[in-house]
Amino acid sequence: MSMINIDIRMPTDQTRRRFIATTGIASVAALAGCAGNGDGSDGGDGSEEDGGDSGDGGTANRLSWHAGGTGGTYFPLSNEIKTIVEANTDFSLNVQSTGASVENVGSLSDGSADFALIQNDIASFAKNGTGIDAFDGSPIESLQGVATLYPETITLVTLAGNDISTIDDLSGATINTGDLGSGTQVNANQILESAGITDYSEQNAGFSQASEQLANGDIDAAFVVGGWPVGAIEDLANTNDVQIVPIDGETRETVKSDASWFADDTIPGGTYSGVEEDVDTVAVQAMIATHSGVDADTVETVTAAIFDNLDELTIKTDFITVDSAQDGMSIELNDGAAAYFDA
């Protein structure tokens, strides 16, 4: 089996973020495959790991898989999936680090990605042309689901010296809500609106950069979306007195009432250094998505390789199972995935 050469490109400029924020899905699609400074559930800093393909989708036995930023969960999990698929099929996966969910939908829409990790709420928005400006009135009809994977925990992180212990304390704060156009930003703004927080300064960067901003005192708090533990928060907690702000009580109920895709979640005490108590919050769901242009037999083969070899994963192993792989699936299933799970 041929090996993939890895080319790492650092983030380019911030115009990509403004572009996503001010234009529709056509612009998001045009940005797919570009180096992101993103996060999303996904994410972290948005350097791009490129298997040598410039992003023209899969050719022959080569498939393009878009992940998230390197500081989150999507990227390392995608590379474990790459190892499994390449060991058990004739396909090779070109894993790219991206700005995650919203950008990845654009990649699937224009065919520059064959598979991608996205959030289930973003998938629903994209498929139905609702929810956020990038998709409003422009449904991505080709978007299809493969499998759901694990809860994408919403982590609101600050430092102990910032005097932020509840979400109400964010009024007047400088908050990193995630990279522009990312699922993290969408979720952060939904939560802040539900909590009635309107007086704040918004910063936009990926998880790794947000951690640096917190450590340097440039921001007061940051939203991170991803399966715990998130590497960037672990690193921050090893050198700083980190505090995880709960989303609980009446605020949590309001958040769930306003956006039905949120579910209760809890970050166990001890997940991050210095945070000994459980912290209540909310979560969305990470999922694998594809598009209708990918052959159903290909999707079935890749799906089977992953779910027949789950014992080879080391990330989120308590959550990723065959039995739960359709929990929270928010869009129609690809025929190949359906063939595997219905077998």
Yes or no: say if 296 and 338 are a contact pair by the CB < 8 Å rule. Answer: no
CA distance 290 to 294: 7
Percent of the chain with pLDDT over 90: 67
In the chain the first and final C-alpha atoms are separated, in Å, by 29
Q: Is the peptide bond before 229 cis (omega within 30 degrees of 0)?
A: yes
Tell me which of 11 and 139 has the higher pLDDT. Answer: 139
**Where are the domains positioned within the chain?**
7-150+286-342, 152-284
In this predicted structure, what is the pLDDT of residue 71?
Answer: 76
Q: What is the pTM of this model?
A: 0.70
Common-topology check for domains 7-150+286-342 and 152-284: yes
Residue 26 has pLDDT above 60, yes or no: no
CA gyration radius for the chain? 19
Instruction: Convert the pLDDT of each residue in 225-273 to its tens digit.
Output: 888 888 889 999 999 999 999 999 999 999 998 887 888 899 999 999 9
CATH topology of domain 7-150+286-342: D-Maltodextrin-Binding Protein; domain 2 (3.40.190)
Residue 288 has pLDDT above 90, yes or no: yes
Least confident of 23-37, 56-70, 158-172: 23-37
In this predicted structure, what is the pLDDT of residue 84?
Answer: 98
Percent of the chain with pLDDT over 70: 83
pLDDT-based confidence at residue 59 (cuts at 50, 70, 90): low
Other C-beta atoms closer than 10 Å to the C-beta of 249 total 11
CATH topology of domain 152-284: D-Maltodextrin-Binding Protein; domain 2 (3.40.190)
pLDDT-based confidence at residue 180 (cuts at 50, 70, 90): confident
Average pLDDT, the chain: 84
Q: Which of 16-30, 41-55, 157-171 has the highest mean pLDDT?
A: 157-171
